[in-house]
Amino acid sequence: MSCLMKRTLLCLMICLWAFSAFAERELFPIKWSEIETTTSTNPNYVKSLVERLSLPTIDKNLTWDERRLAFYGQSILTEGKEDNKVNEAISSYNSNEYEKALELAKQALTINALSLPALRIAENSILNLIKAGNTKYQKSDAEVFCNRAFRIYNTIATTGNGSQEYPFFVTKVSDEYEFMRYYLELWEYSGQRLVGVCDVFELKETSKYFSEKKIWFDTSRSLKMFHDKMK
């Protein structure tokens, strides 16, 4: 991860959340029925929380409960409508079309301001443009997207510890890869399988941020979205 703030943010959160599967800390598993009820009955409130979580400077008055409601409630509000733009942005980025990738990522973020892959593409596109000599952008422009992504990573981290008993809760499969790679620095895995409503990865190697050989994600939300599309 290229964000200049990464180490500071990671060190802070490691102190707070100790990512061992056996770490003794309070966990807040997502109760989707409650998130759905709150979001459907008071969508404007959830939207206001999303706006606060997306501010360039962190809103220190935003509680962890509000952060969770913002991120997981946003998934219900948007229903993956940003996915096409995200996929286009990724394709452009992989073709080294960084200006186009940035624009597409920004379009995706107008639909879902908390899209992790869109935030990553926006950040890295700016950094690559700067590296290529483009003077229109500064590193601080990239950090805006990186910092927002880390607020989301920190929020996901409160929902579990990556064990089978307490999986991390995600809104879609892409969250799993973003969280593993850019937050826990888990890049290599030998297998992935669906067990019930959970995705479990067999890790080839651990990191200083996660010491277990398996990591579990509750993917019930993405499964529900998939089944709804098949109806």
Q: Check residue 225 and give its pLDDT.
A: 83
Task: Residue 88: name the closest of 73, 65, 105 by CA.
Answer: 105
Q: Which pair of structure tokens corresponds to residue 123? A: 């950040």
**Cα distance between residue 221 and residue 209, in whole Å:** 26
**Are residues 35 and 73 in contact, defined by beta-carbon separation less than 8 angstroms?**
yes
Alpha-helical (H) ranges within 114-209 are: 116-131, 139-157, 173-182
Q: What is the pLDDT of residues 192-215, one digit of tens each?
A: 999 999 999 999 999 999 999 999
Tell me the residue type at 77: L
Percentage of residues in the chain with pLDDT exceeding 90?
84
Q: Is 169 helix (H, G, I), strand (E, B) or coil?
A: strand
Q: What is the mean pLDDT of residues 28-49?
A: 97
Q: How far is CA 129 from CA 85, 140, 184, in A?
A: 20, 13, 26
Q: What is the pLDDT of residues 100-135, one digit of tens each?
A: 999 999 999 999 999 999 999 999 999 999 999 999
Give the global pTM. 0.90
Full strand arrangement of the beta sheet holding 198-203: 168-169, 214-218, 198-203, 189-195
Residue 41 has pLDDT above 50, yes or no: yes
Q: Check residue 24 and give its pLDDT.
A: 63
What element of type H or E holds 189?
A: strand 189-195
Q: Give me the half-sphere count of Cα atoms (radius 13 Å) on the Cβ side of residue 151.
A: 31
What element of type H or E holds 214?
A: strand 214-218
Q: What is the pLDDT of residues 138-194, one digit of tens each?
A: 999 999 999 999 999 999 999 999 999 999 999 999 999 999 999 999 999 999 999
